[in-house]
Amino acid sequence: MDDLLLQKIEQKIQDSISNQDDIKELIKLLSTIDSSKSFALGIVVGRLYNTFFYQTKRILKRDPTKKEFEDFLKFIENKKPDLEHLW
């Protein structure tokens, strides 16, 4: 994955950690749908995927490749312990 793209995703993770109250509020609002930990993780990962896709288009001026998406998945898997503490 491109270094600048990786920095943007890492920045989004730090933003999410800094704005835990926003994420908790969103999770609370949507808890009528599902209040599980996996649902909360899905919200956070969805934000990160959006960043990944948008920044790929903005920085690289194209859609992400299959390899870049696989790298993104590995990155998310490695960050999962950090992400689980957001709620």
Q: What is the CA radius of gyration of the chain?
A: 13
* Residue 87: pLDDT band with limits 50, 70, 90: low
Whole domain around residue 78: which residue ranges? 20-26+37-87
pLDDT at 6: 84
Other beta carbons within 10 Å of 59: 13
Is residue 49 a part of any domain in this protein?
A: yes
Is residue 66 a part of any domain in this protein?
A: yes
- Closest Cα partner for 23 from 6, 2, 4, 44? 44
Q: How many domains does the chain have?
A: 1
In the predicted structure, residue 3 carries a pLDDT above the cut 80 = yes
* Residue 86: pLDDT band with limits 50, 70, 90: low
In the predicted structure, residue 19 carries a pLDDT above the cut 80 = no
Is residue 75 a part of any domain in this protein?
A: yes
Is residue 32 a part of any domain in this protein?
A: no
Residue ranges of E strands in the chain: none
Rounded-to-integer distance, Cα 1 and Cα 23, Å: 26
pLDDT at 74: 93
Supply 31's token pair. Answer: 């808890």
In the predicted structure, residue 49 carries a pLDDT above the cut 80 = yes
